[in-house]
Amino acid sequence: MTQAVCTQKSPYAVELEAGDHYWCACGRSKNQPFCDGGHSGTGIEPVKFTVTQKETKYLCGCRTAAGGSPFCDGSHKAL
């Protein structure tokens, strides 16, 4: 398995429509913070999450969030 790439040391603030979304867990997507298939061959899979209503979410950009969560937990502050 390849290690995830930190794309930025801060979260991505994104306004999302209701529905399913796929967060790039590997950091190789050209469409950050969302998956574009760049993980192929890395052994790292995107993380699916669902939003029930239109809202702003803060998605991890450093790829160190606890448990592989797509949501920022402040871990980037320790980098």
Cβ contact 12:35 at 8 Å: no
Q: Would you kindly state where each structural domain of the chain is located, as residue ranges?
A: 12-78
Q: Which two tokens stand for residue 73?
A: 């937990």
List CB contacts of 67: < 8 A, sequence separation 6 or more. none
Claim: this prediction has a pTM higher than 0.85: yes
pLDDT, tens only, 56-76: 999 999 998 767 789 999 988
Identify whether the C-beta of residue 12 lies closer than 8 Å to the C-beta of residue 33. Answer: yes
The per-residue pLDDT for range 16-57, each reduced to its tens digit, is: 999 999 999 999 999 999 999 999 999 999 999 999 999 999
Burial class of residue 3 (count of CB atoms within 10 Å of its CB; 0-12, 13-18, 19+): exposed
Contact between 44 and 4 (Cβ < 8 Å) = yes
Residue 26: per-residue pLDDT: 94
